[in-house]
């Protein structure tokens, strides 16, 4: 997270949190997976970004590597009917999840499938970049996804 954004978030965070992110992660790893799934699904009902990210993760990591299902998940995740204002944060998480899945698929010997997902995602993400009033997070995540795609392409 860039330092300016972190300072902004810290200044508005309120009372000091009893757990830092590393401690929180360590505790979450030990929790019952069913409880974590329930927490995610409860939040995803009202958080479109979390829902879209979760759908992408599940589809890309499923054992059935079906292009039409992956394409539908990407189309759904990259659909924003409204102009995204500067105060609406977190959209870059979608592209970061796509990048994570591309790298994961590559490690699973699914390089061609990963490249197809990356190429399609980059094309559509670039087309909607103008929908962001302040698209620095989107642009950064898109640049990282492009970098991963270029490294994959150069491996051939």
Contacts by 67-75, CB closer than 8 A, 24 or more apart = 67/113, 67/116, 70/113, 70/117, 71/120, 74/98, 74/117, 74/120, 74/121, 74/124, 75/124
Q: Which residues pair with 84 in a beta bridge?
A: 132
The per-residue pLDDT of the chain, averaged, comes to 89
Higher pLDDT pick, 6 / 55 = 55
For 18-22, 57-61, 71-75, 81-85, which range has the lowest pLDDT when averaged over its residues?
Answer: 81-85
Band of residue 2 on the pLDDT scale cut at 50, 70, 90: low
Q: What is the pLDDT of residues 101-155, one digit of tens each?
A: 999 999 999 999 999 999 999 999 999 888 888 778 888 999 999 999 999 888 8
- Sign of the alpha-carbon torsion through 35, 41, 42, 44: positive
Mean of pLDDT values over 27-47:
95
C-alpha 156/C-alpha 136 separation (Å) is 31
Q: What is the pLDDT of residues 80-106, one digit of tens each?
A: 888 877 667 788 899 999 999 999 999
pLDDT at res. 141 = 92
Domain ranges of the chain: 47-154
Burial of 86 (0-12, 13-18, 19+ CB in 10 A): exposed
C-alpha 79/C-alpha 93 separation (Å) is 14
Distinct helix (H) and strand (E) counts, the chain: 8, 0
pLDDT at res. 156 = 67
For 3-12, 13-22, 60-69, 110-119, which range has the lowest pLDDT when averaged over its residues?
Answer: 3-12
> The whole model's pTM is what?
0.82
Band of residue 3 on the pLDDT scale cut at 50, 70, 90: low
């Amino acid at each position: 997270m860039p330092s300016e954004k972190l300072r902004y978030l810290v200044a508005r965070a309120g009372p000091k949190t009893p757990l830092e992110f590393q401690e929180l992660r360590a505790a979450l790893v030990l929790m019952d997976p069913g409880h974590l799934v329930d927490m995610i699904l409860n939040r995803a009902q009202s958080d479109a970004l979390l829902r879209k990210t979760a759908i992408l993760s599940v589809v890309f990591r499923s054992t059935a590597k079906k292009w039409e299902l992956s394409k539908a998940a990407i189309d759904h995740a990259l659909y924003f009917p409204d102009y995204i204002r500067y105060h609406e944060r977190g959209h870059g998480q979608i592209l970061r999840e796509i990048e994570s899945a591309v790298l994961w698929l590559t490690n699973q010997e699914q390089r061609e499938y990963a490249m197809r997902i990356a190429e399609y995602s980059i094309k559509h993400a670039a087309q909607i970049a103008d929908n962001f009033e302040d698209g620095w997070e989107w642009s950064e995540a898109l640049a990282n996804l492009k970098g991963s795609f270029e490294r994959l392409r150069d491996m051939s």
